Amino acid sequence: MGKIRVVHYINQFFAGIGGEEKADYKPEVREAVLGPGMALKAGFKDEAEIVATIICGDSYFNENIEEAKKEIIEMVKKYEPDLFIAGPAFNAGRYGVAAGTITEAVQNELRIPALTGMYIENPGVDMFKKNIYIVSTKDSAVGMRDAVAKMVPLALKLARGEEIGSPEEEGYIPRGIRKNYFTDKRGSQRAVEMLVKKLKNEEFETEYPMPNFDRVEPNPAVKDIMKAKIALVTSGGIVPKGNPDHIESSSASKYGKYDISGYENLTEETHQTAHGGYDPVYANLDADRVLPVDVLRDLEKEGKIGELHRYFYATVGNGTAVANAKKFAEEFSKELKADGVDAVILTST
């Protein structure tokens, strides 16, 4: 067997084309080694070669998923590779979603071994970890050397069809797959040993890790809703016409704060949705369907609430990282409290 043929996928930033201003860059293939490909090439040594690099802007891919996926699949097919690698995407949300989408597509449609790399909190991880191999990376390109050091050996194993070890052994994010194995200790003995270690506050490793759910204690009920100042917050992407803050349609990195003091309702002429995860037609025709300004104005007039807060906060929940969502809320919650808001109605899609 000769050198393993590799096709590498990267975004516009790692290709050196540009940042956010070039995020609409259409798919392009170059018969060259670019960006992180240089580190991959060094890691492969004489065992594999990158025969082509495919570049696509993050916004273009996420806003034209089916079209971009189809075009890139044809590009990959042309080079008849033995292996496909995307990224690593680190903690870049839209890049992670794109890398996960195309890695899964190449694996399923072309039957080619494929993998990518991401930080654990990248939204692409939760979306694709059960179906593809995602090497765990640090949160930024500072961790490139570490990422490549884990991606190269796993990639070569996949290309050779060798048995893949556990996530701990290979460095990929757990996929939720459990395998039977033989051990010299029966289950009851192992369980008692773990229990004893736990009682002694000693470290132990469970054989059945449970998901870590984030529990939020509910606030006390509003004492007098007829005197309460109510604010609206949405992850449904409602923004003033034209999306002045350029909130991304997927994997949002920002939120917006908008004044609605002069509006009785939201219309097609004044507001729209920036969200790319649902059909925007009905929200664009009447944004009140996602952000009910009209209903709250009626309640305000009827005296059923004290008042509607003059500002609403909006972002896009489509693929947005949990860490970003928490950060957004921590920031604008302080403003809401400072403005004397008593309760918030949070709407999605």
Separation CA 85–CA 76 (nearest Å)? 11
- Beta-strand pair 48-56/4-11: parallel
pLDDT at 1: 59
Q: Mean pLDDT per segment of 10 residues, for the chain of length 349 residues? A: 91 92 93 95 94 94 91 96 95 90 96 95 88 93 93 95 89 82 87 94 84 79 95 96 91 91 95 90 95 97 96 89 84 96 93
Q: Where are the domains of the chain?
A: 4-170, 225-347
Instruction: Tell me what pLDDT residue 85 has.
Output: 97
- Round to whole Å and give the CA distance between 324 and 318: 12
User: Hey, what are 92's tokens?
Assistant: 């870049």
With contact defined as beta carbons under 8 Å apart, do 234 and 346 qualify? yes
Q: Is the Cβ–Cβ distance between 100 and 130 less than 8 Å?
A: no
Kindly report, residue by residue over 139-197, the tens digit of the pLDDT: 888 999 999 999 999 999 999 999 998 888 899 999 877 777 788 899 899 999 999 99
pLDDT of residue 336: 97
Alpha-carbon distance of 271 to 64, in angstroms, equals 23
Count of other CB atoms within 10 angstroms of residue 46: 6
Separation between Cα atoms, residue 289 and residue 108, nearest integer Å: 38
Residue 312: closest CA among 240, 225, 251: 240
State the CATH class of domain 4-170.
Answer: alpha beta
What's the pLDDT score for residue 229?
97
